[in-house]
Amino acid sequence: MINVIKPNVLFIAFVSFFILLSGCNAQEAKKAADTQATTSETKSGEKMSANPVVKLETSKGTITMELNAEKAPKTVANFIKYVEDGFYDGIIFHRVIPNFMIQTGGMLPDMTEKPNREEIMNEANNGLKNDRGTVAMARTPNPHSASSQFFINLKDNDFLNFTSETQAGWGYAVFGKVIDGMDVVDEIAKVKTGHHGGHGDVPLEPVTIIKATVVK
Amino acid sequence: MQRDTVIPMTSPKPEAGRRATYFISDLHLHPDRAELFTLLYDFIDDISCDAEALYILGDLFEFWIGDDIIDTPTGEIYTPLFDKLKSLSDSGTKLFFIQGNRDFLARKKFARRIGARLLADQQVIDLYGTQALIMHGDTLCTDDKSYQRMRALLRNRILQRLYLMQSTQKRQRIADKTRQVTQKETGVKSSMILDVNQQQVEKVLKKGGMGILIHGHTHRPGEHQFKLDDQSARRIVLGDWHDKSSYLKVTQENGSLAMQLVY
């Protein structure tokens, strides 16, 4: 990674006070794993299926997710638009925590954040639980701050479920589940992680979404 | 800094039902880790009825860039949490805070905001009649000489003042860069250096004449029992938080201390 920082004497003075080592690791993007040729049709403009299916072709394999438009209409519509816009193509899994979840949907391999659209309402009060294999929206501590980032639960994360419409109780909106490729999810969960670009739990070798498509 | 004042346990007549003292540390709260806020809110709710005291032994934040962000747009992500901690304090739970190596800039304004008392780096407390020494724990890792050198720099008040004069954006960039470098360093240092030095542990306990030490920082939770001049001594290490909370709960049972470490 190349740091692009304007020369600034005071900044450099501070950094030299506070750091003992310098330099950073160069990260090489992993070449794509072999992917099956698929004929996928994007259905933009057509009426969305009640349960859209989205395929994520990642550098570790393919993950197929079925979305629940009935229980999370705003979240699914928002997500499908990101998929159809090609937003997720080239994005990395930037936060991987074993026995918890793997998160993606917002960072490029150099850890810069892709500019996303406006935030959406939290739909965690839809009865769906953050069980193993479910897909949910990531957000900040503000309950209604989700936009493009999402995560896949590696176990039943009960504490993420909605309990009340309060700051503390809103929870994380589940809007789909993995129907194929959970083994790929588990493989991603095993990668070595470290600190990179100001964030922790970052895979040392980038795991990327090569292409995300709506298949149904 | 070290002070010899002992923090008394409770007021003479604690409220009925409040009979537990809790210790937490190393949450490393950061806006990217929204789930940690959820865990902390749940924890505060869970302890609100029976906690007569809550000690936060440092690294509550992944990095705290200065008290001036409190209740401003830069720090608004923490406002609900601060409100919740203040409510806990107002409801009768005594809150105490010791600075960690990530939030050593959380000072009086922060402590006041959450209704807590700011303690010295190493503090003796009275736990239901037994004296215990509490601290964040980074000062015990004396084998990590490069860290101890950096700590001396970071705790230098003149340097801190210079840092706090910078804009919040610049301070955040410095913080991010420092974290990046120290994480890389941590990755190459051996596990022996990164843990506490036993001689240092015994030295601080002997100096105060105590048999209990509670700390965090190493992210290696557990209880260690050893002999100190033929007396039994205990060192309890708090765990860091990921997808569940970690805490020490101390109560008095039949005249002696009951300690429950959860991680």
The CATH architecture of the domain made up of A40-214 is Beta Barrel (2.40)
Query: Are the beta carbons of A208 and A29 closer than 8 angstroms?
Result: yes
What integer is the mean pLDDT of B251-259? 91
Question: Interior CA angle at A173 toward B75 and A61, to 5°?
Answer: 105
Q: For residue B3, what are its two tokens?
A: 């002070």
The ipTM is 0.82
State pLDDT tens for residues A83-93. 999 999 999 99
| pLDDT confidence band for B193 (50 / 70 / 90) | low
pLDDT at A199: 80
Helices (H) and strands (E) in chain A, counts: 3, 10
Check whether B235 has a pLDDT greater than 50.
yes
A138–B166: do the CB atoms touch at under 8 Å?
no
The C-alpha atoms of residue B250 and residue B127 are separated, in whole angstroms, by: 8
Q: For residue A105, what are its two tokens?
A: 């949907």
| pLDDT confidence band for A196 (50 / 70 / 90) | confident
B32–A199: do the CB atoms touch at under 8 Å?
yes
B162–A22: do the CB atoms touch at under 8 Å?
no
Tabulate helix, strand, coil % of chain A (nearest 5): 15, 30, 55
| pLDDT confidence band for A15 (50 / 70 / 90) | low
| Cross-sheet strand order for the sheet of A92-97 | A92-97, A101-107, A150-153, A134-137, A174-180, A61-67, A53-58, A209-214
Lowest mean pLDDT among A62-66, A172-176, B147-151, B174-178: B174-178
Give whole-number Cα distances, A50 to A72, A78, A177, A180, A213, in Å.
11, 14, 14, 18, 16
Collapse the DSSP code of B167 into the 3-class scheme (helix H, G, I; strand E, B; otherwise coil) and give the result: coil
B contact test, residue of A22, A95, A195, A204 with most B CBs within 10 A: A195
Which residues in chain A are contacts of B77 at CB distance < 8 A? Answer: 140-142
pLDDT at A195: 79
Phi-psi region of A188 (alpha: psi -120 to 50; beta: other; left: phi over 0): alpha
Which among A136, A129, A10, A78 has a CA at the least distance from the CA of B34?
A136
Higher pLDDT among residues B189 and B229, named by residue: B229
State pLDDT tens for residues B61-114. 999 999 999 999 999 999 999 999 999 999 999 999 999 999 999 999 999 999
- Burial of residue A100 (CB within 10 Å: 0-12, 13-18, 19+) is buried
Residues of chain B with pLDDT > 90, as a percent, come to: 76
Which residues in chain A are contacts of B242 at CB distance < 8 A? Answer: 97, 100
What are A's interface residues with B at a Cβ cutoff of 8 A?
5, 10-11, 14-15, 17-22, 24-25, 95, 97, 99-101, 138-142, 157, 159-160, 167-169, 171-172, 194-200
Indicate the residue of B170, B183, B242 with minimum beta-carbon distance to A100: B242
A140–B32: do the CB atoms touch at under 8 Å?
yes
pLDDT at B14: 53
pLDDT at B252: 93
Check whether A56 has a pLDDT greater than 60.
yes
Lowest mean pLDDT among A24-33, A49-58, B12-21, B144-153: A24-33
Structure-token match 């009979």, residue found: B19
Task: Say yes or no: B151 contacts chain A, CB-CB below 8 A.
Answer: no
Which among B261, B181, B167 has a CA at the least distance from the CA of B214?
B261
Check whether A182 has a pLDDT greater than 60.
yes
Provide the whole-model pTM. Answer: 0.85
| B122, β-bridge pairs | B2, B135
The C-alpha atoms of residue A139 and residue B76 are separated, in whole angstroms, by: 15
| pLDDT confidence band for A24 (50 / 70 / 90) | very low
Task: Say yes or no: B225 contacts chain A, CB-CB below 8 A.
Answer: no
What integer is the mean pLDDT of B197-206? 93
| pLDDT confidence band for B179 (50 / 70 / 90) | confident
Shortest CA gap B110–chain A (Å): 19
The C-alpha atoms of residue A185 and residue A200 are separated, in whole angstroms, by: 19
Q: For residue A116, what are its two tokens?
A: 């996303």
User: Where in chain A are the domains?
Assistant: 40-214
Helices (H), A48-192: 73-84, 182-189
Q: How large is the greatest C-alpha to C-alpha distance in chain A, in angstroms?
A: 59
| A214, β-bridge pairs | A54
The C-alpha atoms of residue B156 and residue B120 are separated, in whole angstroms, by: 16
pLDDT at B146: 87
Domains of chain B by range and CATH?
2-9+17-141+195-262 (3.60.21.10)
A contact test, residue of B27, B32, B48 with most A CBs within 10 A: B32
Q: What are phi and psi of A4, to 5 degrees?
A: -105, 95
B 26-45: CB under 8 A from A:
31-32, 34-35, 37-39, 41-42, 45
Lowest mean pLDDT among A23-37, A164-178, B5-19, B117-131: A23-37
State pLDDT tens for residues A127-173. 999 999 999 999 999 999 999 999 999 999 999 999 999 888 999 99
Contacts within 8 Å (CB) and 24+ apart, A35-38: A35/A62, A35/A210, A36/A62, A38/A215
The C-alpha atoms of residue A78 and residue A73 are separated, in whole angstroms, by: 8
State pLDDT tens for residues A64-100. 999 999 999 999 999 999 999 999 999 999 999 999 9
A15–B177: do the CB atoms touch at under 8 Å?
yes
Check whether A3 has a pLDDT greater than 60.
no
Shortest CA gap B39–chain A (Å): 7
Q: How many CB atoms lie within 10 A of CB A24?
A: 15
pLDDT at A87: 98
Which residues in chain A are contacts of B42 at CB distance < 8 A? Answer: 159, 168
Maximum mean pLDDT: which of A8-17, B17-26, B118-127, B184-193: B118-127
What integer is the mean pLDDT of A45-50? 62
Residue type, A205: E
| pLDDT confidence band for B8 (50 / 70 / 90) | low
